[in-house]
Amino acid sequence: MGGPVVRRWLFSAIDALFPFCCRRCGHLFLRGGSQRPATDGAVADPDLSQALADQFCPVCRQRWTAVSSPFCSRCGLVFKSREGDNHLCGRCLERPGAFTRARALGIYDETLRSAIHALKFRGIVALAVPLGDLLLDVFRRHWEPGEIDLVAPVPLHRRRFRQRGFNQAYLLIRHWNLPTGGTIVRDLLVRRRATPPQTGMDRRQRRRNIKNAFGVRQPGQAAGKRVLLVDDVLTTGATADACARTLLQAGAERVDLLTLARAL
Ligand SMILES: [Zn+2]
Ligand SMILES: [Zn+2]
């Protein structure tokens, strides 16, 4: 029996003896192990409750809402009415933004929101891989193989990066294995300007706040490319829109957006 096997056995014995504190409600629970079920290469149904089995109690793990049809076929906004097919929302009809299509795993509330906060603000980076795996499932579900050339995170300003120590959007994708030729580029975009936090701002204020905040690191890198931007949350889309605009100005053919969560 090798060292790693012993260690793994020891850790599971410790987990069985000492309950773990749920990251959301604080209740104690026994960790369930977050192995992904085998899918024989098929695209798995993104299952947050399975992915969070090590960090959240069984009750909280059920408390999340997957994005499901009908939603806006462009920006992914989930319609309140649960009837009918996907179609364009009023906002996209009126003023379509710079990105072509946005998709998300779930609604930005309850446990998905708690998981994102735990990763981002409490530095629980162990959540990045299971959440990133779910994001990859969403990507494979909504994009055809070979449809994207570059996958890039929405960047943080270097001051914010220093405070936090990581870019959560990059942590979600850095372990992705993209067999279809897409390349993960950490620094495709840079945040030139530190912008005040957007919480509490309306759409117009956000747009003004974020204007000209981004630039491309290497001129020419995005030229002719189909880019997938990745972020943790899509709220008004002002940040994603500014990023997409910057990439299109740098010659990108198309910019799409993938996030864990979508604000209602
Ligand atoms: Zn809980
Ligand atoms: Zn829309």
Cα separation, 90 vs 259, in Å, equals 21
Distance from Cα 87 to the centre of ligand 2, integer Å: 8
Domain total in the chain: 1
**Residue 21 belongs to some domain of the structure:** no
Reduced to 3 states, what is the DSSP secondary structure of residue 106? strand
Cα separation, 191 vs 158, in Å, equals 8
**Residue 173 belongs to some domain of the structure:** yes
Q: Which of 123-137, 173-187, 200-214, 220-234 has the lowest mean pLDDT?
A: 200-214
Is residue 129 over pLDDT 80?
yes
Report the chain's mean pLDDT, rounded to a whole number: 88
Overall average pLDDT of the 229-235 stretch: 95
> Nearest CA to 215 among 148, 139, 158, 135?
158
**Residue 150 belongs to some domain of the structure:** yes
**Residue 88 belongs to some domain of the structure:** yes
Which ligand sits nearest to residue 61's alpha carbon? 1
Distance from Cα 12 to the centre of ligand 2, integer Å: 46
Overall average pLDDT of the 83-103 stretch: 92
Which ligand sits nearest to residue 55's alpha carbon? 1
Distance from Cα 1 to the centre of ligand 1, integer Å: 36
Distance from Cα 189 to the centre of ligand 2, integer Å: 24
Most confident segment among 124-128, 139-143, 253-257: 253-257
Distance from Cα 93 to the centre of ligand 2, integer Å: 7
Is residue 196 over pLDDT 80?
no
CATH code (residue 128):
3.40.50
Overall average pLDDT of the 5-25 stretch: 77
Which ligand sits nearest to residue 100's alpha carbon? 2
Q: Which amino acid is at 19?
A: P
**Residue 31 belongs to some domain of the structure:** no
Cα separation, 105 vs 79, in Å, equals 15
Q: Which amino acid is at 170?
A: Y
Overall average pLDDT of the 51-74 stretch: 93
Which ligand sits nearest to residue 111's alpha carbon? 1
Domain with 80, as residue range(s), is: 66-262
**Residue 33 belongs to some domain of the structure:** no
Which residues are registered as beta bridge partners of 231? 259
**Residue 10 belongs to some domain of the structure:** no
**Residue 32 belongs to some domain of the structure:** no
Which ligand sits nearest to residue 75's alpha carbon? 2
User: Token digits for 192?
Assistant: 């030139």
Which ligand sits nearest to residue 74's alpha carbon? 2
